[in-house]
Amino acid sequence: MAPKLLITRKLPNDVEARAAVSFDVCPNLTDGLMDQSALLARAEGVDGILATVTDRLDASTIATLPASVKIIASFSVGTDHIDLEAARARGIIVTNTPDVLTDATADIALLLLLGAARGAASGMAAIRDNTWANWAPTGMLGISLTGKRLGIYGMGRIGQAVAARARAFGMLIHYHNRHAVKGQEDATFHQTLASLLAHSDFLSINCASTAQTRGSINAQTLAALPHGAIVVNTARGDIVNDDALIASLTTGHLAAVGLDVFNNEPNIDPRYRTLPNAFLLPHLGSATQETRNAMGFRALDNLDDYFAGRVPRDRVA
Ligand code: DGY
What CATH code is carried by the domain that includes residue 223?
Answer: 3.40.50.720
99, 105, 209, best to mutate for ligand 1 pocket (most atoms within 8 Å of CB): 105
CB of 286 shorter than 6 A to ligand 1? yes
Q: For position 147, what pLDDT does the model report?
A: 98
Residue 285 Cβ inside 6 Å of ligand 1? The answer reads yes
Catalytic center residues: 236, 265, 283
- pLDDT at position 293 is 99
Residues 218 and 272 in one domain: yes
Do 270 and 294 have their domain in common?
no
Residues 276 and 228 in one domain: yes
Which ligand 1 atom is the nearest neighbour of the CA of 286? 7
Same domain, 8 and 91: yes
Is residue 293 in a domain? yes
Q: What is the pTM of this model?
A: 0.97
| pLDDT, position 295 | 99
The domain tally of the chain equals 2
Residue 27 has a pLDDT of 98
What pLDDT is attached to residue 153?
Answer: 99
Per-residue confidence (pLDDT) for residue 282, from 0 to 100: 98
On whether both 84 and 108 belong to a single domain, the answer is no
Q: From atom 2 of ligand 1, which residue's Cα is the shortest distance away?
A: 76
- The pLDDT, as a whole number, for residue 132 is 97
Q: Is residue 315 part of a domain?
A: no
Q: Which residue ranges of the chain lie beneath pLDDT 50?
A: none
Let me know whether 150 and 242 are in one domain.
Answer: yes
Shared-domain flag, residues 30 and 163: no
Ligand 1 centroid to Cα of residue 138, in Å, is 39
The Cβ-side half-sphere exposure at 54, using a 13 Å CA radius, reads: 14
- Ligand 1 centroid to Cα of residue 130, in Å, is 36
Whether the CB of 76 sits within 6 Å of ligand 1: yes
What pLDDT, on the 0 to 100 scale, is given for residue 190? 98
Mutate to test the pocket of ligand 1, among 8, 53, 94, 259 (most ligand atoms within 8 A of CB): 53
The residue range of the domain holding 76 is 4-100+289-307
One domain for residues 186 and 298: no
Regarding whether 159 and 258 lie in a shared domain, the answer is yes
